[in-house]
Structure 1
Amino acid sequence: MEAFLVSTGIVALAEIGDKTQLLSLLLAARFRKPWPIVLGILVATLANHALAGAAGAWVTTVVGPQVLRWVLGGSFIAMASWMLVPDKLDDAGADKVPRLGVFATTVIAFFLAEMGDKTQVATVMLAAQYKAWLAVVAGTTLGMMLANAPVVWLGDRVLRRVPIRVVHRVSAAIFAALGIGALAGWA
């Protein structure tokens, strides 16, 4: 249960102000069809985070526990620093009409935007730390949905009220604490 709850919380916080959240806002403003967008985000996140979780689980089979502890600790501290750098959305092709429909366009755009993203990297690290693939993937997916679905339905009204800098700092502090904890051997 800890893996699920920690994964949900970390990803929900990390996603605020992230480029995929901005993409959610852009898709909602452009298409004004929330259900296919939210379902597309869910499908893309499940696929992306399932792969990331599998990579994290695989790492634990090839790296010894001491090396893994240092890699995870360093990775979490690096993630803390990364959280302090705000994302920007690339607007290339924003005015093209999708040929595949809103759902498929969302799945493809969201899956690609999530590649190498903070939340995907966090999923790899959490799966390696907790060795609980299903709990981590379920938690990170729920965290993504908690952060992105309201944006799709409520749009920029949500983003105007959320102090993104504060959320990024809190996220960075959590990642730093996880990194220090891993280096100290707490978990």
Structure 2
Amino acid sequence: MEAFLISAMAVTVGEIGDKTQLLALLLAARFKKPVPIILGILAATLANHALAGWLGHFIAGAIPAEWLRIALGISFLAIAAWTLKPDDMEDTGLSESRYGVFLLTCITFFLAEIGDKTQIATVALAARFQDLLPVVAGTTLGMLIADVPAVILGKTVSPHFPFKLVRWIAASVFAILGLLVLSGLQLPF
């Protein structure tokens, strides 16, 4: 249960102000079809994070525990630094075309999530917990917690949301986790 909860919390906080959350805002403003957008986000995140979780699970079994601890600590510190960099999305020229909003959302979200900090966090969390299903379920839920309100509320609320403050809080959480892991202290999870 803790793998699920920690994964959900880490990705929810890490997703605030991320390019995929901005992509959700862009899709919602452009197409005004929240249901296929939300379902597309769900499908893309499940696929992307399942692959990332599998990679983390594989890495955990292939790398000695001490090396894994150091790599995990460094990756949390890198995610902390990355979180401080605000993402922006220029108009991507997205068009519904013949594929529909659902498929367009699936493809763009899957591609936008490749190499993203939430995908890297999923790899790290799967390596840490070595329990694939709760990690992928938690990271997917975290994405939905952060992105569904963006889809529903669109650009109405986004100008007033404290993205900078949330980025700093998220960076602090990841930095503390990274330092605790590198110090060798046993984490409570």
Task: Give the TM-score band, short-chain normalised.
Answer: over 0.9
CA distance in 2, matches of 1:127, 1:32: 35
Q: What is the CA-CA distance between 1:164 and the residue it aligns to?
A: 0.6
Cα offsets for 1:10-57 (capped at 9, x unmatched): 111111111101110111111111000000000000000000000000
CA distance in 2, matches of 1:105, 1:40: 8
Q: Contact between 1:69 and 1:183, CA under 8 Å: does it hold in 2?
A: yes
* In the alignment, structure 1 residue 184 sits paired with structure 2 residue 183: yes
Q: Which residue of 1 aligns with 2:136?
A: 137
Q: Secondary structure at the match of 2:89?
A: coil
Q: Percent identity?
A: 55
Structure 1 window deviating more from structure 2 (96-105 vs 114-123): it is: 96-105
Cα distance change on mapping 1:97 and 1:142 into 2, 3 Å: closer
CA distance in 1, matches of 2:176, 2:25: 31
Matching residue's letter, 1:69 = R
Q: Which residue of 2 aligns with 1:34?
A: 34
Q: Which residue of 2 aligns with 1:71?
A: 71
Q: Contact between 2:60 and 2:130, CA under 8 Å: does it hold in 1?
A: yes
- Superposed counterparts of 1:7-156, under 5 Å: 7-94=7-94, 96-156=95-155
Q: Contact between 1:150 and 1:158, CA under 8 Å: does it hold in 2?
A: no
* In the alignment, structure 1 residue 4 sits paired with structure 2 residue 13: no
CA distance in 1, matches of 2:165, 2:26: 23
Count of matched residue positions in the alignment of Structure 1 and Structure 2 = 186
CA distance in 1, matches of 2:10, 2:148: 17
Normalization by structure 1: what TM-score? Answer: 0.96
CA distance in 1, matches of 2:148, 2:90: 21
Q: What is the CA-CA distance between 1:3 and the residue it aligns to?
A: 1.1
Q: What is the CA-CA distance between 1:98 and the residue it aligns to?
A: 2.3
Matching residue's letter, 2:19 = K
Q: Secondary structure at the match of 2:17?
A: coil
Gaps of 5+ in 2: none
CA distance in 2, matches of 1:133, 1:158: 35
Q: Secondary structure at the match of 1:155?
A: helix
Gaps of 5+ in 1: none
Q: Which residue of 1 aligns with 2:172?
A: 173
CA distance in 2, matches of 1:175, 1:30: 33
Normalization by structure 2: what TM-score? Answer: 0.95
Q: Contact between 2:96 and 2:104, CA under 8 Å: does it hold in 1?
A: no
Q: Contact between 1:18 and 1:87, CA under 8 Å: does it hold in 2?
A: yes
Q: What is the CA-CA distance between 1:162 and the residue it aligns to?
A: 1.9
Q: Contact between 1:28 and 1:153, CA under 8 Å: does it hold in 2?
A: yes
Matching residue's letter, 2:158 = L
Q: Which residue of 2 aligns with 1:162?
A: 161
